[in-house]
């Protein structure tokens, strides 16, 4: 029978150990360094260095100690990385979300500490130490990311290691292996470098050679070839609307701001007009004055308008995008299609378990007066013969939404968003970095249009075709490539992620059970 983790005797052949007194400040430093590798600093090598320090900090510590190290390190990272949440909801929600991520991150580092202790003792050959053990460490990190991205209430799929590399030369790898697979490869490289430089059987020169070979292998891996099938002339409008949830604006201000920019462009020849999430703060499906405005835009430009609005169906409210088009036959504008956000953001767009949470902090949760319902419509619009996948705001982070979009056969992705709640923080550029990686991952152009920025258009290779400065009204007009390329990442979907999780957990279990067997044999052996 296997004893609890804290009672398992520790293997004695870990070649390098970090004492707890050093591990704690190392993890705090690692969290800060990791954040510098993400937007808006975007010093992407620092994300890998920070991850390396974090992994190294739990080499040789016990599982309970690793939980403490992970708690300090993750609080340092997430506390900085998602500080933008305080602009929107204040300190208490920020603390709650940070602590939720601390919980998962700590367990992840705890898992890595077990890999260091038991897998290093199980696979003692040089290939085992340099390849298999680092792979299990990378798998443990990726497993933590995968779980926290979906649990609880849809999870928080933000700040995955892959997201730090949107501007790095390694970014094309995501088209081969997807977000989770990309995180795995990055962490495999980082853990392999650590293993090489702490392996007694390797000289410093040999360790450097092995590490450089791993990096070069990732750098020279070719980008997945993209087959373009045509283009769509897109007009994206950033109205610089004061569209925050608690902004002091009058009814129709958001609609007027986007209309004011668009009406100056009526002589342009475009295939589709895209306004951001919540661009129409009056529902055109229910109010004639809003319907008249969006109908005029479609009529004058001779193109459909994709516009965000809060819609209702009976007692249900939805965060929706409408495909609005002028109908010559009837002489009026009509909604040709509608996408209702499938996964509203918990504690922002709805309050999970309202009966439980609301009495705990009525003043705080009164800031979420209504719960948006979960949409059930498909995720694509037909636009001028092309299929456009629709990803509203945080949808772009959601793997399930992405696979739904690709499963529906999208040729291009529209990503309308409203970032006004987060002010001039780095939230919008973090989101844009994820959108760029999604373009590469899927082999699809992504049109990211925000109320206040950051708005940008990226081609299927992740190259920026156009971009607007934040908090400036403006527009983007581009011939945006369409594509039907099937990337390996799209074909694999969640399968690679599932394999990594299974590989990691089974590998660790084998190592721990084998270690326990060795201990029992030693204990039962006759003493001389």
Residues whose CB falls within 8 Å of the CB of residue 203, separated by 6 or more in sequence, listed in order: none
C-beta separation of 312 from 283 below 8 A: yes
pLDDT tens by residue, 316-344: 999 999 999 999 999 999 999 999 999 99
Cα angle, residue 431 at apex, residues 442 and 33 outer, rounded to 5°: 110
Cα–Cα distance between 46 and 164 in angstroms, integer?
9
Please classify residue 61 by burial: count the beta carbons closer than 10 Å to its beta carbon, then call 0-12 exposed, 13-18 middle and 19+ buried.
buried
The more confident residue out of 28 and 89 is 28
Mean predicted confidence (pLDDT) in 199-207? 88
Q: How confident is the model at residue 103 (pLDDT cuts 50, 70, 90)?
A: very high
Residue 489: predicted pLDDT: 96
Is the pLDDT at 368 greater than 80? The verdict is no
The domain defined by 228-352+366-490 folds into Nitrilase/N-carbamoyl-D-aminoacid amidohydrolase (3.60.110)
Is the pLDDT at 10 greater than 50? The verdict is no
The more confident residue out of 366 and 463 is 463
C-beta separation of 293 from 263 below 8 A: no
C-beta separation of 146 from 501 below 8 A: yes
The more confident residue out of 371 and 253 is 253
Residues whose CB falls within 8 Å of the CB of residue 500, separated by 6 or more in sequence, listed in order: 139, 142, 143, 146, 180, 181, 184
Residues found in the chain: 528
Three-state DSSP class for residue 165: helix
Is the pLDDT at 315 greater than 80? The verdict is yes
β pairing state of 305-313 and 316-327: antiparallel
pLDDT tens by residue, 412-466: 999 999 998 888 899 999 999 999 999 999 999 999 999 998 999 999 999 999 9
Mean predicted confidence (pLDDT) in 126-150? 95
Is the pLDDT at 11 greater than 60? The verdict is no
Is the pLDDT at 348 greater than 80? The verdict is no
Angstrom distances, CA of residue 98 to CA of 172, 409, 508: 30, 36, 28
Is the pLDDT at 354 greater than 80? The verdict is no
Residue 13: predicted pLDDT: 46
Angstrom distances, CA of residue 297 to CA of 21, 71, 270, 428: 64, 52, 12, 27
Residue 5: predicted pLDDT: 47
CA 515 to chain centre: 37
Please classify residue 36 by burial: count the beta carbons closer than 10 Å to its beta carbon, then call 0-12 exposed, 13-18 middle and 19+ buried.
middle
Q: How confident is the model at residue 411 (pLDDT cuts 50, 70, 90)?
A: very high
Three-state DSSP class for residue 18: coil
Neighbours of 334 (CB within 10 A): 15
Mean predicted confidence (pLDDT) in 495-509? 94
Query: To the nearest 10°, the Cα dihedral for 266, 268, 273, 279?
Result: -40
Helix or strand holding residue 25 (H, E): helix 20-36
C-beta separation of 108 from 143 below 8 A: yes
Residue 190: predicted pLDDT: 97
Residue 4: predicted pLDDT: 44
Is the pLDDT at 363 greater than 50? The verdict is yes
Residue 528: predicted pLDDT: 63
And the tokens for 432? Answer: 């844009």
Mean predicted confidence (pLDDT) in 137-165? 95
Neighbours of 317 (CB within 10 A): 19
Is the pLDDT at 301 greater than 90? The verdict is yes
Mean predicted confidence (pLDDT) in 59-73? 95
Mean pLDDT (the chain, rounded): 91
Kindly provide the residue ranges of all beta strands, DSSP E only, lying in 328-473, ordered along the sequence.
332-340, 380-383, 386-390, 412-417, 446-450, 456-458, 464-467
The more confident residue out of 485 and 87 is 485
Residues whose CB falls within 8 Å of the CB of residue 136, separated by 6 or more in sequence, listed in order: 115, 119, 503, 504, 507, 508
């Amino acid at each position: 029978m296997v004893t609890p983790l804290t009672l398992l005797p520790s293997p004695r052949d870990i070649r390098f150990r970090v004492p707890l007194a050093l591990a704690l400040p190392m993890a705090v430093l690692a969290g800060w360094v990791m954040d510098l590798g993400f937007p808006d600093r975007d010093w992407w090598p620092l994300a890998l260095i920070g991850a390396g320090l974090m992994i190294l900090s739990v080499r040789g510590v016990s599982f309970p100690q690793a939980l403490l190290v992970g708690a300090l390190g993750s609080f340092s990272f997430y506390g900085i990385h998602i500080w933008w949440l305080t602009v929107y909801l204040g300190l208490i929600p920020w603390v709650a979300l940070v602590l939720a991520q601390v919980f998962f991150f700590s367990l992840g580092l705890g898992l890595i500490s077990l890999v260091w202790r038991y897998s290093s003792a199980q696979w003692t050959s040089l290939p085992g130490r340099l390849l298999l053990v680092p792979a299990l460490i990378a798998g443990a990190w990726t497993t933590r990311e995968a779980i926290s991205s979906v649990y609880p209430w849809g999870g928080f799929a933000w700040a995955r290691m892959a997201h730090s590399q949107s501007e790095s030369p390694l970014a094309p790898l995501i088209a081969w292996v997807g977000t989770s697979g990309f995180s795995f490869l990055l962490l495999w490289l980082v853990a392999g470098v650590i293993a090489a430089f702490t392996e007694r059987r390797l000289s410093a020169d040999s360790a450097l050679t092995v590490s450089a070979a791993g990096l070069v292998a990732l750098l020279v891996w070719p980008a997945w070839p993209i087959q373009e099938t045509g283009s769509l002339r897109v007009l994206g409008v950033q109205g610089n609307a004061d569209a925050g949830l608690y902004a002091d604006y009058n009814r129709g201000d958001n609609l007027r701001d986007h209309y004011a920019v668009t009406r100056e462009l009526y002589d342009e020849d475009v295939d589709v007009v895209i306004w951001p999430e919540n661009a129409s703060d009056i529902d055109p499906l229910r109010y004639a004055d809003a319907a008249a405005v969006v109908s005029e835009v479609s009529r004058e430009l001779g193109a459909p308008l994709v516009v965000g609005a809060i819609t209702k169906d009976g007692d249900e409210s939805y965060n929706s995008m409408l495909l609005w088009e002028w109908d010559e036959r009837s002489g009026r504008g009509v909604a040709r299609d509608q996408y209702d956000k499938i996964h509203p953001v918990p504690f922002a767009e709805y309050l999970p378990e309202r009966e439980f949470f609301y009495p705990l902090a009525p003043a705080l949760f009164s800031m979420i007066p209504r719960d948006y319902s979960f949409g059930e419509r498909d995720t694509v619009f037909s636009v001028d013969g092309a299929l456009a996948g629709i990803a509203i705001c945080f949808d772009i982070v959601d793997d399930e939404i992405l696979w739904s979009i690709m499963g529906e056969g999208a040729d291009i992705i529209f990503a309308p968003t409203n970032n006004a709640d987060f002010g001039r923080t780095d939230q919008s550029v973090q989101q844009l970095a994820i959108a760029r990686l999604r373009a590469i991952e899927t082999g699809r152009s992504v049109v990211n249009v925000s109320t206040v920025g950051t708005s940008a258009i990226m081609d299927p290779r992740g190259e920026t075709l156009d971009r607007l400065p934040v908090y400036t009204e403006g527009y983007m007009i581009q011939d945006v490539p369409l594509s039907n390329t099937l990337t390996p990442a799209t074909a694999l979907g969640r399968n690679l992620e599932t394999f990594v999780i299974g590989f990691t957990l089974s590998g660790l279990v084998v190592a721990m059970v084998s270690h326990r067997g060795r201990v029992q044999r030693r204990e039962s052996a006759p003493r001389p």
